[in-house]
Amino acid sequence: MTATSERAVGQPLRRIEGPDKVTGAARYAAEYQVGDDLAYGWVAQSPVAGGTLTGVTVDPLVEADDVLAVLWHGNAPRLAEGDDPELAVLQSDRISYRGQALALVVARTLEAARAAAASLQLSIDPSPADTVLSFARDDLYTPEKVNPDFPSETSTGDVSAAFDAAPVRVDVTYSTPALHNSPMEPHATTALWEGDELVLYDSNQHPPGVAATLATLFELPPERVHVITEHVGGGFGSKGTARPNAVLAAMAARVTGRPVRLALPRQALFSMVGHRTPTIQQLRLGATPDGKLTAIDHLAVAHTSRLFEFAEQTAVTTRHLYEAPAVRTGHRLARLDMPTPRWMRAPGEAPGMVGLECAMDELAIALSLDPIELRVRNASSSLLTDCLRHGADRFGWHDRDPRPRQRRDGDWWIGTGVASATYPAMVQPSTARARRLSTGDYEVSIAAADLGTGARTVLTQIAADALDVPHDRVRVRIGDSTLPFASVAGGSSGTASWGWAVTGACRALRDSGGSDEATFDSSDLVEQLNQEGKHAYGAHFAEVRVDAVTGEVRVTRLYGLYAAGRILNPRTARSQFIGGMTMGMGMALHEEGVLDPNVGTWVNHDLAEYHVPTHADIESITAEWLDDAGEGQNPMGSKGIGEIGIVGSPAAIVNAVWHATGVRVRDLPVRLDKLLPHL
Partner 1 sequence: MDLVVNGDRHTLEMDPRTTLLDALREHLGLTGAKKGCDHGQCGACTVLLEGRRVNSCLILAVTLDGASVTTVEGLAHPVQEKFLEHDGFQCGYCTPGQICSSVGMLDEALSDDDPPELSDAEIRERMSGNLCRCGAYPNIVRAIREVAAR
Q: Would you please indicate which residues are annotated as catalytic (active-site) residues?
A: 643
184 contacts ligand FES (rule: CB under 6 A): yes
Which CB atom, from 231 or from 405, has the smaller least distance to ligand FES?
231
Quick note: the x/- pattern for ligand FES over 217-236, rule CB under 6 A, is -----------------x--
Of all helices (H) and strands (E), which one includes residue 650?
helix 649-661
Site residue total, partner 1 (CB under 8 A) = 61
Positive or negative, the CA dihedral 659, 660, 663, 666 is: negative
Task: Give CA–CA dist 487/409, Å, rounded.
Answer: 51
- Report the nearest approach of partner 1 to the CB of residue 21 (Å): 3
User: What's the min distance (Å) between Cβ of 184 and ligand FES?
Assistant: 4
Does position 14 interact with partner 1 (CB under 8 A)? The reply is yes
Q: Interface with partner 1 includes 183 (CB under 8 A)?
A: yes
Q: List the one residue from 5, 10, 11, 18 that touches partner 1 (CB under 8 A).
A: 18
DSSP conformational letter for 590 = I
Using CB under 8 A as the binding rule, the residues of this chain from 91 to 150 that contact partner 1 are 109-112, 115
Q: Which of residues 294-353 bind partner 1 (CB under 8 A)?
A: none
235/205 Cα distance (integer angstroms): 7
In the shown chain, the binding pattern of residues 447 to 486 toward ligand FES, with x for contact by CB under 6 A and - for none, equals -----x----------------------------------
The whole-angstrom separation of Cα 108 and Cα 521 is: 45
Compute the distance between CA of residue 676 and CA of residue 327 in angstroms, rounded to an integer: 36
Contacting partner 1 (CB under 8 A), which of 466, 506, 621, 665? Answer: 621
- In angstroms, give the least distance from the CB of 303 to partner 1: 24
Residues 218-237, interacting with partner 1 (CB under 8 A): 231-234, 236
Provide the minimum distance between the beta carbon of 557 and partner 1 in the complex, in angstroms, as a whole number. Answer: 12
CA atoms within 13 A on the CB side of 157: 18
Contact flag: residue 614 with partner 1 (CB under 8 A): yes
CB nearer to ligand FES: pick between 264 and 299: 264
Residue 615 makes contact with partner 1 by CB under 8 A: yes
In angstroms, give the least distance from the CB of 149 to ligand FES.
30
Find the binding residues for ligand FES in span 234-263 (CB under 6 A).
234
**In the complex, least distance from residue 35 CB atom to partner 1, rounded to whole angstroms:** 12
Among 177, 209, 580, 635, contact with partner 1 (rule: CB under 8 A) = 580
SS3 label, residue 434 = strand
Asked if 616 is part of the footprint of partner 1 (rule: CB under 8 A), the reply reads yes
Selection from 553, 542, 176, 162 nearest residue 356 by Cα: 176
We find the least distance from the C-beta atom of residue 12 to partner 1, in angstroms, to be 9
Look at strands 121-126 and 51-57 and give their pairing.
Answer: antiparallel
Name residues whose C-beta falls within 8 Å of residue 366's C-beta, 6 or more positions apart in sequence: 168, 169, 170
Instruction: Give the 3-state secondary structure percentages of the chain, helix then strand then coil, rounded to 5.
Output: 30, 25, 45
Stretch that binds partner 1, among 27-35, 396-404, 415-423, 629-637 (CB under 8 A): 27-35
**224-261 per-residue burial string, b: 16 or more CB within 10 A, e: under 16:** bbbbbbbbbbbbbbbbbbbbbbbbbbbbbbbbbebbbb
326-336/279-287 β-pairing: unpaired
If the CB atoms of residues 49 and 449 are measured against partner 1, the closer one turns out to be 449
Q: What are phi and psi of 625, to 5 degrees?
A: -145, 155
Residue 582 touching partner 1 (CB under 8 A):
yes
Q: Provide the H-helix boundaries in 325-430.
A: 349-367, 371-378, 382-395
**CA distances (Å), 119 to each of 77, 103, 114, 256, in order?**
23, 12, 9, 21
| Region of residue 295 (phi > 0: left; psi between -120 and 50: alpha; otherwise: beta) | beta
- Taking the C-alpha atoms of residue 147 and residue 351, their distance in angstroms, rounded to an integer, is 14
- Per-position x/- string for 248-267, each x denoting binding to partner 1 as judged by CB under 8 A, each - no binding: ---------------x-xx-
What residues line the site for partner 1 (CB under 8 A)? 14-15, 17-28, 30-31, 33, 109-112, 115, 182-186, 231-234, 236, 263, 265-266, 451-454, 571-572, 574-576, 578-583, 606-608, 612-616, 618, 620-621
Binding site for ligand FES (CB under 6 A): 184, 234, 452
